[in-house]
Amino acid sequence: MHTILVLGGYGFFGSRISQALAANEGIRLLIGGRNIAQAQSAVSKLELSSSQAIAIDAHAANLSERLVELKVNTLIHTAGPFQNQDYSVALAAISAGVNYIDLADGRDFVAGIEQLDSLARERGVFVTSGASSLPALSSAVVDRYLLRFKRLETIRHGIGSGARAPGLATMQGVFGYCGKPYTRLQAGHWQTVYGWLDLQHYHFPKPVGARFLGSCDVPDLVLFPRRYQDVQTVTFHAGFASASAHLFVWGASQCVRLGIIPSLSSFVTPLHWISQWLEPFISDKGAMFVAMEGVGIDDQPLKLEWHLVAAQNHGPYIPCGAAIALATKLARGDQLPSGAMPCMGILTVEDYLAALHGFDIRELPA
Ligand SMILES: NC(=O)c1ccc[n+]([C@@H]2O[C@H](COP(=O)([O-])OP(=O)(O)OC[C@H]3O[C@@H](n4cnc5c(N)ncnc54)[C@H](OP(=O)(O)O)[C@@H]3O)[C@@H](O)[C@H]2O)c1
C-alpha cells in the first residue's frame, strides 16, 4: 500500500482529489487539515476509517516527524494560497523521504521549486510544483503540438470558468493580484501588465460561447519562455461565467491600479460568499484554450487552437487531474524522476485526461 496524505484534503480541490484516490485500492489515503471535525466528516463521506482523518498544520515545525510517524510515501499539498509561502512543506517532505506534489499557482513559487533539486535528488524523492491546470496541463498541450512547428512564436491560453466558485485559498491567490503590476513576454520584450485588466472577449466553442477574460499572473508566463526557446509572446487570461461578475472584478481591479483601493484581498470572503450564492443563476459550463502560433515545418504560418470543455459544473475537477495522475503512477510503482521541478514534461495530455475519466469534460484537439 502506498500512503498518500492530502494536506487540505477536505478543501475544494483537495476533496475532489481525495474522492478519486479513495477509490484506488493500492492507496492508503490520509485526509489532513487543521480542522479535525472537517477531516472526520470527509473520511466518513468516503467510507474510510476515522483513523484516516488527520489533524495537521502544514506549517508546524514538526511536520517532517509527523510524515515519518504517519508512514507517508507521498504528500499532496493543496493548502494554499501559495503566493506568499516558502518551501517549508516541501523541505519537510524531502527530509522525511516523502514524495511531494503541490497545486501551486504562484508564479515565483512554482518556478523556484528547482532550488530544492539537489536536496530532493540526494534523498531520492520526486518533488513537483504546479501539478494542476497550469503548468501541468497547459505545458502538456504545447509539448504535444511542438513537433508541428519549426518555430513556435506565440502561446496564448486561458480559462473561462463555470458557475461553481473554487475554495477560499484559490480566490485569495487570484484576487491578491487584481490591479497589481507584473510582467509578461510580449513580442520578445518583458512588458508590465496589470492583474485582471487587459479585457478580452474570447469565443469558446459551444456550448460555452463568448466570455470576458482578464490578464492573470501565472507560472506559465515565466516557465514557457524558458521551455520553448523561440517563443516571443506568452499570455494567460481567465474569466468568470457571469459577464457582470467579470466586469465588476475588472472595474474593481481598475480601482486598485489607480490607487483608489489598496487591494481586493480584504473583499475575498464576501466575494466568495456572493459567488456561491450566484451559482444556480449562471452557466455550469467552462472551458480552457491553448492557442499556438508560429511557422510550421513546411515553412508556412501555422496556428493551432486546442480546447477542453466542461459541463455540469465538472470544470473544478480539471485542476485535480495532475495530482491524481501522479499519485496513481507513484502508487503503482512507476518510476518518476528524483529531483525538484515545475510540473512540466512529466504527464502527457492523455495521462491527464485519463484521471478525469467519467466527468463531463471533453477535449477538442487542435
Ligand atoms: N495551478 C493551478 O492551475 C491551480 C488551479 C486551481 C487551484 N490551484 C490551487 O489550489 C489551492 C487550493 O485551492 P482550494 O480552492 O481547494 O482552497 P480551499 O478550499 O480553501 O482549501 C484549502 C485547504 O487547505 C487547508 N489548509 C489551509 N491552511 C492549512 C494549514 N496551515 N495546514 C493544513 N491545512 C491547511 C484548509 O483547511 P483548514 O483551513 O481547515 O486547515 C482547506 O482544507 C489554491 O491555493 C490554488 O492556488 C491551482
Please name the residue whose Cα sits nearest to atom 46 of ligand 1. 170
| Cis before 205? omega within 30 | no
**Domains, the chain, with CATH or none:** 2-133+316-361 (3.40.50.720), 134-310 (3.30.360.10)
- CA 80 to CA 70: how far, in whole Å? 22
**pLDDT for res 245:** 94
Quick one: CA torsion of 62, 64, 68, 72, rounded to 10 degrees? 120
Mean of all residue pLDDT scores within the chain: 97
What secondary structure letter does DSSP report for 124? T
How many angstroms is it from 132 CA to the middle of ligand 1? 13
Please name the residue whose Cα sits nearest to atom 41 of ligand 1. 34
Q: What percent of the chain has pLDDT over 90?
A: 99
**pLDDT for res 186:** 98
Ligand 1 nearest atom to the CA of residue 106, by list position: 47
Ligand 1 nearest atom to the CA of residue 83, by list position: 47
pLDDT digits (tens, 9 = 90+) for 314-360: 999 999 999 999 999 999 999 999 999 999 999 999 999 999 999 99
DSSP assignment string, 86-119: -SHHHHHHHHHT-EEEE----HHHHHGGGGGHHH
Burial of 48: CB neighbours in 10 Å, binned 0-12, 13-18, 19+: middle
CA 70 to chain centre: 27
pLDDT digits (tens, 9 = 90+) for 192-247: 999 999 999 999 999 999 999 999 999 999 999 999 999 999 999 999 999 999 99
User: Are residues 76 and 5 in contact, defined by beta-carbon separation less than 8 angstroms?
Assistant: yes
pLDDT tier, 96 (very low <50, low <70, confident <90, very high otherwise): very high
pLDDT digits (tens, 9 = 90+) for 24-64: 999 999 999 999 999 999 999 999 999 999 999 999 999 99
Ligand 1 nearest atom to the CA of residue 81, by list position: 45
Pocket probe mutation, ligand 1, options 105, 133, 318, 356, max atoms within 8 Å of Cβ? 105
How many angstroms is it from 313 CA to the middle of ligand 1? 19
- Give phi and psi for 220, each to the nearest 5: -60, -30
Which residues' Cβ are closer than 6 Å to ligand 1?
7-8, 10-14, 33-35, 38, 56-59, 78-82, 103-105, 130, 132-134, 166-170, 173, 319
